[in-house]
Each structure stands twice: as C-alpha cells, then as structure tokens.
Chain A
Amino acid sequence: MAVIETRNLTKRFGKLTAVSRLNLRVSEGEIFGLLGPNGAGKTTTLSMLATLIPPSDGSANVGGFDVKRDPSKVRHSIGFVFQDPSSDDLLTGRENLYLHALMYGVDMRNINEKMDDVLKLVDLTSRQHERVRNYSGGMRRRLELARGLLHEPKILFLDEPTLGLDPQTRQHLWTYIKKLSTEKKVTIIITTHYMEEADMLCDRLAIIDHGRVVALDAPDRLKKKLGGDVIKLQVKRPNVAALKKLGYVKHVQREDGTLMLTVSEANKHLQEILKRVGEVENVEMRSPTLNDVFLHYTGSEIRDQEGEGGFFERMMNSNR
C-alpha cells in the first residue's frame, strides 16, 4: 500500500523549476531516500510533502490525505526533523517534548511514559532535565528525532539528519532510524547527500538531479544496473574512441586525465583495455559503489555540503 504518492508534483520559484513533475510511490514501513547534489530539489520535495510549502502544480497524497486540501490532517500524521535544529534552547529536552505533545494534540493521559520511551530510544534519559542550550549537535539531533516520534507519526521526514555530525553519532542515529522502521513500522523519507548513509539505510532511493528523478531503485539493484565493475584509469592521452569500440565497456566518462569505465567482467578484460587505452599511469578496479551510480546518472561527483542547507534553504535565506 502506498503511504505517499505524488503525481507530477512540481515547484517553481519564479523562473526556476526546483522540482519538476515528480512521480513517487512509497510503501508503508519503507525507508525511502532522496539522494542528490545541492540544489537538486530534495528539501523542496520534502517541504511540499510535509505541507511546509504549497506545490505549484501536480498533487501529493501523504498518509491518505491530500497536501493541498487537508494540510492539517497531513501534519497530524507526519513527523519532521529539520535540517537545522528547531528545539527551544532555553527549555530542557523534556520540556521541549512536552510542548510538542501539547501542540500536536497527543493524548496526554500517559504522556510521561511516552516521553520516557522516546528519550530512552534516543539515549537522552540522563540529560533530559538539562537545557537544550547545553546539548551537543548530536544530542540536539537526537532530541529532534525523539520529538518527531512523540506523536507517533505514520510517516517521518528526515532532512539531512546526520549533516555535520561525527561518525560515531551518525552510526548511532542510523541504528535508531533502522529500529524505528523495523520495530514501529514507521515509513521514513530521508534526504541525504551522504552515499554511505543512503546505502546503509534506504530500502529504495531516488536519485534526483535538477528537480527530476534520474534513477529509482534499491541501492544494490542500482549498483547492479551499472552492468559491471568500475575501472579508474589515469592516462595522459587516452584513446577513448578505441575503448568505445569494445562491447564490454558500458560507459566511459572522462574528467581531465582520469577515465572512469564501467566494464562487465572487468577482471577478464582489464589487460585488453590497458593495451588499447594508451600510456597508463595508474589503475584502480573495484565493484561499483553508490557514488559510481550517482556519477553515472548525474555526471558529477557529489559536492560537499557545508551545512548551510540545500536549495530551499538558500532560497529562504536570500529572502531574509
């Protein structure tokens, strides 16, 4: 059953089309990733699904409600963890949760147990009575996650949840997110530009570039679809034409002196390739990673993000 379904979902900011005719179906309990470079339209998509901004065109059904017609019902059934922390740093962690519960109309009869539960889930029980001001970045993220879960949403949106966190904390968060999906059957939509994160977490992912879905499948299948292994060559004057004649070379990409080849049964054909390509300085051969998939579809290496957020955030900032 589809928990989220979009039809030609489109968002334009003036002349710029941030998201273009997006069609997605996400099933219950799935961890679905939106992967893309900065400005690809990930956050904009998420914001539309979470009713933060209205779509310019098309429609989206989230948790059984239309984002345009019933935004308030959609909001009751979703949780949202923002790119930037949005808890009140003058209040304690527990107080933040309590206010959230009140605002989301959570049944207050056993609110204390519920808060205990989510705090335990994200490992903040011992720090719950401290002001958020004193929390580290990772703790804040975990608090946000706990808050996003408090009203027991059917769907949880995570916008770059591990941005700027240290590897250890990131690992922790991944564990929590996995746990949510398996134990609580929460459908999770996550945007990220970390390849390993997408690889580790997502059941399926959509690679988005320039507001369009360029590939959509399970991470493993995306890798398989490349149809072979990756050979990275450093060649001064590569003979690309000769390579293209070889049937087992599926894809050639050139960037300065570096060639990226996708080759079926690479170990068998390596010798032949080396012979034809020219004066080789360096060879590297490996199974394809998600990064290779990404390169294949977007034609560019993912750019490192400096924590200032994606396109949508920059749009908002430029309005400030």
Chain B
Amino acid sequence: MSELTGLYALWLREFKVFQREKSRIVSSLVQPLLWLVIFGTGLGSSIEGISGTSYTSFIYPGILAMTVLFGSLFFGLYIIFDRRVDFLKEVLVAPLSRTTIFFGKVMGGATDGIIEIAMLMVLGALFFSIRFSILSAIATVLIILLLMVSILSVGLIIGSVMTSPEGFGLISSFVIFPLFFLSGALFPVQNLPSWLYVFVVINPVTYAVDALRTVILGIGSFGLPLDFAVMTAFAVAMVLIGTQAFKRMKV
C-alpha cells in the first residue's frame, strides 16, 4: 500500500513539474513540426510520394517515434539534475523500494510524453491530413507507450550511471541520432543496401516505426506480430536492466 502511494507521489511530482514547465511542452512540439513542415515539404516536393502517400505523411509516424526518442531519453537523463538539487536523495532515502522509484519515474515520463504525442496526433489530423480512426488512434497510443517505456528506461539507465550533464551531447550523437536515422523514420527500408539494412533490422526502434506506419498509413514491412514481439522484448529487457541499475545507484 505504501509502495502504491509512493508511486503516486513520484508520478505526481513529475506531473506537477511538467505542468509548470510550459516552455518544455512547446519546445517538445516545435522540433517535430519543423521536421514535418520544412523537411517533409522540402524533400517531398522533389520526390513523388512513397507507397502512395505524400512524403510528409510517410515520415509522420517516424516523427512521432522521434519525439518519443528525444523526449523520453532526455527525461531519463534528467535524474542527473534531480541529483544535483538533491531531490533524488530525498526520494532514495524514503522507505520505498528502488523498483517503485524506477516505475514512478517511468510513469511520470510516460504521462508527459503521451500528452505531447496526443497533441501531435491532433495537429497531424488537422494540418497534415493524417486520418485516425478510433481503433488506429488507440493502437498508435499503445505502440507509443511501449516504445516510451523502453526509451525512458534506457534514459534512466544511462542517467543512473552518468555523473554530470557534460555527456549529454555524446548521448545525442551516439545513442539518439543513430537510433533515429536507422529506424526507417525518414526512408523506406526495403531498398537499402545490405550493410545498412543490417543496422536497421537490429535497431528496435525500427519495429516501432514500422508498427506505427502500419497502423496509421496501412503500409509496413515486417508485420504487426513481429513488430510487437520485438518491441515487447525490448521494453521488458530495458525495464529489467533499469530496475537493477536503480538498485545499484548510490545515494
């Protein structure tokens, strides 16, 4: 019981901070919109659509995944700042299990992320001619949640061992961008040369993009069963490693 109220407390903290940091919400929407409007229109105007959809529509699911990648990974990394103001100490000292603390963080981050994604879905429907049915909207949110839990865990794992924010740039270059570019978010994966294809298929984010594209646009390469299997395995693995990393984290 006390673990549950503790979980609620940790979630509440994240949610309150999220509500206050309005600028964070706005800036989290700007980047995906720039990709859609400028990159999508720019490149889209010199290529004919892909698989019967406009280029902007084609990358829309990929941009959703990208928003999760950046938002969730950095959310996890932010525990470094928690540590600096020592709020983390207050939490780590509380009579709560480290697993609870981990899930509190994940739930808080997922709540923030889902709100951002929901806004992007509305914007997509209004301005980028993306058509959601109730079913496809629910499926989209489910896929996003699964991806979010994985990426939040990755961020928290890195954040729990990282000691200063100086490494943030490194994480962007060596984790986020490779995961993003190799996910097929911006191009179809079928016609790639085999050396590149290898990297794409071992990237778990690829399957999230594929699942999103299947659900939203009806075009996909691997099929939903495989997509979900890979994503679930990835999420479970990251959560397990994450809870262990939190147990080892020093006060």
> Interface on A for B, CB 8 Å cutoff?
47, 50, 52-53, 72, 75-76, 80, 82, 84-91, 95, 99-100, 102-105, 108, 147, 316, 319-320
Contacts and interface: CB of A to CB of B under 8 A. Distances in A.
Contacts of B17: 88, 90-91
A88 B10 CA distance: 12
A82 B89 contact: yes
8 contacts: A53-B251, A75-B93, A85-B85, A102-B9, A103-B91, A105-B2, A108-B5, A319-B250
Main secondary structure of the interface of B (DSSP, over half): helix
Interface residues of B, number: 27
A86 B89 contact: yes
Nearest to A47: B251
A99 B85 CA distance: 16
Contact of A320 (B1, B90, B95, B163): B163
B20 interface: yes
Interface centre among A102, A147, A316, A319, by most chain B C-beta atoms within 10 angstroms, is: A102
A87 B90 contact: yes
A259 B16 CA distance: 61
A103 B91 CA distance: 8
A103 B6 contact: yes
Contact of B6 (A47, A85, A91, A102): A102
A15 B135 CA distance: 63
Interface in B237-251: 250-251
Interface of B: 1-2, 5-6, 8-10, 12-13, 16-17, 20-21, 85-87, 89-91, 93-96, 163-164, 250-251
Given A100-B90, A102-B5, A319-B163, A89 B16 contact: no
Q: By DSSP majority rule, is chain A's interface helix, strand, loop, or mixed?
A: loop
Nearest to A92: B16
Contact of B13 (A52, A84, A88, A319): A88
A45 to B, nearest CB: 15
Contacts of B10: 103
Contacts of A80: 93
A87 B87 contact: yes
A151 to B, nearest CB: 9
Nearest to B87: A88
Contact of A95 (B1, B6, B16, B93): B16
A85 B84 CA distance: 10
Contacts of A86: 85-87, 89-90
A105 B7 CA distance: 11
Contacts of B2: 104-105
Contact of A88 (B5, B85, B250): B85
Contacts of A316: 250
Contact of B93 (A52, A88, A91): A52
Contacts of B16: 90-91, 95
B95 A105 contact: yes
Contact of B86 (A52, A85, A103): A85
